[in-house]
């Protein structure tokens, strides 16, 4: 099961209580106070782990409590601080406070951390309260109660290339041919119900990550189909691979499909509409695909869009496509950070 959005409850560790104690030793009159401080409570951190691809672990456990600090003791022995709790999340996780909507951070690199909640301070022992006029204080602080809150975690997949298009355009077949990923492939719409990542090897020195995203339909930006659920994953891609179906038997117009999806991207995010695109015309091996192919080639030539004509089933044109993608990625300055690509 793929989980890309979830709420979790986090609570910092309680602080330990301070101690009221007095030094009592033979031949040491008026030993004075020696109560130690309580330990601080543990904090909770979120850490990006490249080995994870989903927030599924949080589906089974929603509440997390850090360890509390131990109480202070006599002889000026301070309590031990509670251990921090580290929760591992996938790369691309956006963290926000559920109640206020405050953006807390964006984990986009391996090992990057965000403080989810800080542990509470421990209480002061009575040795802290000794003064020249109060040499035997009988006062100590209780440890503070650890703060708590609900966090909203949202996963936006990090990929160099995102494959978009209408259902059954051949996106999953393309990803399975270019990488070791094995997305579900079938002859009915919406076979892809969750994103699938694969690594494409260009040569000995270059590779890129490709994401097979569920098919989009008109109204996706308003939530139709799987629209809003998966449009967020296109925000982190550096290049969009827009697949068109040249098969005339589908009854769809590939040029109209191109324009419809572009409108949905613009409706969801103006910035996303400006993301670099490569148009891929698929199923060119079909005997009746020539008219649609010519129309798409003419449109792309007029608009200046990069076009590759392929057959994901037979493999025709895939080598040129991989090289073209690598060249386009190489022309971009930096990977996407916070959903933005630098041209």
pLDDT of residue 182: 58
Residue 249 clears pLDDT 70, i.e. is over it: yes
Q: What share of the chain is helix, strand, coil (3-state, %, to 5)?
A: 25, 25, 50
Cα gap 151→44, rounded to integer Å: 12
pLDDT of residue 336: 44
Q: Which residues pair with 241 in a beta bridge?
A: 163, 278
Cα gap 180→118, rounded to integer Å: 42
Q: Categorize the per-residue pLDDT at 339 as very low, low, confident or very high, splitting at 50, 70 and 90.
A: very low
pLDDT of residue 216: 55
Cα gap 237→211, rounded to integer Å: 8
Residue 157 clears pLDDT 80, i.e. is over it: no
Say if residue 186 is exposed, middle or buried (CB neighbours under 10 Å; 0-12, 13-18, 19+): exposed
Cα gap 308→300, rounded to integer Å: 10
Mean pLDDT, the chain, whole residue set:
83
Residue 149 clears pLDDT 90, i.e. is over it: yes
Cα gap 318→249, rounded to integer Å: 23
Instruction: Give tens-digit pLDDT for 220-235.
Output: 444 444 444 556 666 7
Among 67-71, 186-190, 194-198, 276-280, top mean pLDDT goes to 67-71
Task: Note every long-range contact of 200-207, with CB atoms under 8 Å and residues 24 or more positions apart, other chains counting.
Answer: 200/161, 200/322, 200/325, 202/322, 202/323, 202/326, 206/326
Residue 209 clears pLDDT 80, i.e. is over it: yes
Instruction: Give tens-digit pLDDT for 103-134.
Output: 999 898 899 999 999 999 999 999 999 998 89
pLDDT of residue 21: 94
Contact 263, 331 (CB under 8 A): no
Q: Which residues pair with 334 in a beta bridge?
A: 342
Cα gap 172→211, rounded to integer Å: 9
Cα gap 253→236, rounded to integer Å: 28
Instruction: Give tens-digit pLDDT for 257-312.
Output: 888 888 878 887 778 778 889 999 999 988 888 999 999 999 999 999 999 999 98
Count of Cβ atoms closer than 10 Å to residue 229 Cβ: 15
Q: Categorize the per-residue pLDDT at 337 as very low, low, confident or very high, splitting at 50, 70 and 90.
A: very low
Q: Categorize the per-residue pLDDT at 176 as very low, low, confident or very high, splitting at 50, 70 and 90.
A: confident
pLDDT of residue 294: 93
Q: Which helix (H) or strand (E) holds 238?
A: none
Residue 189 clears pLDDT 50, i.e. is over it: no
Please give the full DSSP string across 39-64, using - where no structure is assigned. PPPPPEEEEE-TT----THHHH--EE
Task: Kindly list the structural domains of the chain, giving each domain's residue range(s) and its CATH number in brackets, ordered by start.
Answer: 1-155 (2.70.210.12), 161-342 (3.40.50.300)
The mean pLDDT value for 63-84 works out to: 96
Bridge-based pairing state of the strands 239-245 and 161-165: parallel
| Residue with the larger pLDDT of the pair 335 and 257 | 257
Residue 145 clears pLDDT 70, i.e. is over it: yes
Q: Categorize the per-residue pLDDT at 194 as very low, low, confident or very high, splitting at 50, 70 and 90.
A: low
pLDDT of residue 12: 97
Q: Categorize the per-residue pLDDT at 155 as very low, low, confident or very high, splitting at 50, 70 and 90.
A: confident
Q: Considering only CA atoms, which of 104, 193, 92, 222 is closest in space to residue 152?
A: 104
Q: Categorize the per-residue pLDDT at 180 as very low, low, confident or very high, splitting at 50, 70 and 90.
A: low
């Amino acid at each position: 099961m793929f989980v890309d959005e979830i709420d979790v409850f986090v609570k910092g560790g309680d602080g330990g209580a301070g101690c009221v104690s007095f030094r009592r030793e033979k031949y040491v009159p008026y030993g004075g106070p020696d109560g130690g401080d309580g330990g601080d409570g543990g904090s909770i951190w979120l850490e990006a782990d490249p080995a994870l691809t989903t927030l599924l672990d949080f589906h089974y456990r929603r509440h997390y409590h850090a360890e509390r600090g131990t109480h202070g003791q006599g002889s000026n022995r301070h309590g031990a601080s509670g251990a921090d709790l580290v929760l591992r999340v996938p790369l691309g996780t956006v963290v926000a406070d559920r109640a206020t909507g405050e953006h807390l951070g964006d984990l986009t690199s391996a090992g990057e951390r965000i403080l989810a909640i800080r542990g509470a301070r421990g209480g002061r022992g009575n040795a802290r309260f000794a003064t020249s006029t109060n040499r035997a204080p009988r006062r100590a602080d209780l440890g503070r109660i650890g703060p708590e809150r609900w966090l909203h975690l949202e996963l936006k997949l990090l990929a160099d290339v995102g494959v978009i298009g209408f259902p059954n355009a051949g996106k999953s077949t393309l990803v399975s041919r270019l990488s070791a990923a094995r997305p579900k492939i079938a002859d009915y719409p919406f076979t892809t119900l969750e994103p699938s990542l694969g690594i494409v090897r260009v040569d000995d020195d270059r590779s890129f990550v490709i994401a097979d995203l569920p098919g989009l339909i008109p109204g996706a930006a308003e939530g139709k189909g799987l629209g809003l659920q998966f449009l967020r994953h296109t925000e982190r891609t550096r290049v969009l691979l827009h697949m068109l179906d040249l098969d005339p038997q589908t009854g769809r117009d590939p040029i109209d499909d191109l324009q419809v999806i572009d409108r949905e991207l613009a409706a969801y995010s103006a910035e996303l509409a400006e993301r670099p695109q490569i148009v891929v015309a698929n199923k060119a091996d079909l005997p009746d695909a020539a008219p649609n192919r010519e129309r798409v080639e003419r449109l792309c030539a007029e608009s200046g869009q990069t076009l590759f004509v392929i057959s994901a089933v037979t493999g025709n044109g895939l080598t040129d496509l991989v090289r073209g993608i690598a060249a386009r990625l190489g022309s971009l300055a930096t990977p996407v950070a916070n959903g933005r690509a630098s041209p």
